[in-house]
Amino acid sequence: MATAERRGLGRGLGELFQRTETPEPAVAPPDGGEPARERSGNAVSAPATPEAPSESYVPVPAGSRFVELPLDAITPNPRQPRTEFDDDALGELVGSILEVGLLQPVVVRPLGDDRYELVMGERRWRASRQAGLERIPAIVRRTEDHDLLRDALLENLHRAQLNPLEEAAAYQQMLEDFGCTQEELSRRIHRSRPQISNTIRLLRLPSSVQRRVAAGVLSAGHARAILMVPDAAGQERLAQRIVAEGLSVRSAEELAAMGEQGQEPPPRRRRPRELPEGATRVSEVLTDRLDTRVRVEGSARRGRIVIDFASAEDLDRIASLLGVAREI
């Protein structure tokens, strides 16, 4: 379906939320209100009452109800920490929904007047809209405002779907909006306080460096190494060098520790080649203008220019900067 999970919190979401209600062992039919609808004919929504547990089986906590809701009655979570949705992964999910239906319900909270707001599952909601579904399975659960961001953040952390800058912004938003300390946040989302603190520090990076981290051109490890440089101009220079030379996190840390006048990191062993005069300058200018690593390779007689990109969206951005309409 989508790409495999890279990491997780090691706990189910039900345990992470630590609600006072005790989860029931099985999905109960809805009580009054809105009737759950079974899948029939060519409908692609999930059955309201599974016959047996499976990987897509979702226990419903006490006080919640399992129903099918019209897609148009659901609005996105305004506190959703995730801002980037990979088009390719979303397309895979759309294909899966068209083939077997939406197996995992979204979680919503009631707003009144038959309107609901997403708590978790915006990617599934978006894919269902693209797949042409009219109704989707949902767990309706009362959620307070101060829990809305936390629950969305936990889902994305559990699925490893946030880039480091989105994660840092979500942590900072929780601290500011709800007067939460880093120690309290650590206990609530089961992340260590140093990890939260180090992630929030990424927001201090210059905007040009933040863009490269968000695009995946620089890793979170590179970003932390760049933060060792005290001034913004030096941070930008180190970021450019990391991208241009493909430096490892260890090499970046060594450069940051030695300062701008420090010695070069141990060079990678390569067969020396004679490039045309000015090739290095071309590489530096293109790297700076495209905000990604650009290499000039070859010899004085012939060669190639290699432009790195981190995702389909990053490729579109580079193509736009080059004035090229990418054919799909």
Show which residues are catalytic: 122
Pairing of strands 135-140, 65-70: antiparallel
Provide the H-helix boundaries in the chain: 13-17, 87-100, 122-130, 145-158, 164-178, 182-189, 193-200, 207-214, 220-226, 232-245, 249-258, 279-290, 312-321
Nearest to 279 by CA among 307, 305, 318: 305
Nearest to 155 by CA among 173, 135, 137, 170: 170
Nearest to 198 by CA among 172, 231, 179, 217: 172
Residue 300 CB contacts under 8 Å (≥ 6 apart), including other chains:
274, 275, 276
User: Tokens at residue 128, please?
Assistant: 């269902």
Please, is 60 exposed, middle or buried when counting C-beta atoms within 10 Å of its C-beta (0-12, 13-18, 19+)? buried
* Cα 202–Cα 224–Cα 280 angle in degrees, nearest 5: 105
User: Tokens at residue 263, please?
Assistant: 């010695």
Please, is 9 exposed, middle or buried when counting C-beta atoms within 10 Å of its C-beta (0-12, 13-18, 19+)? middle
Alpha-carbon distances, residue 173 vs 83, 150, 295, 317 (angstroms):
14, 10, 38, 28
Query: 296 has which bridge partners?
Result: 305
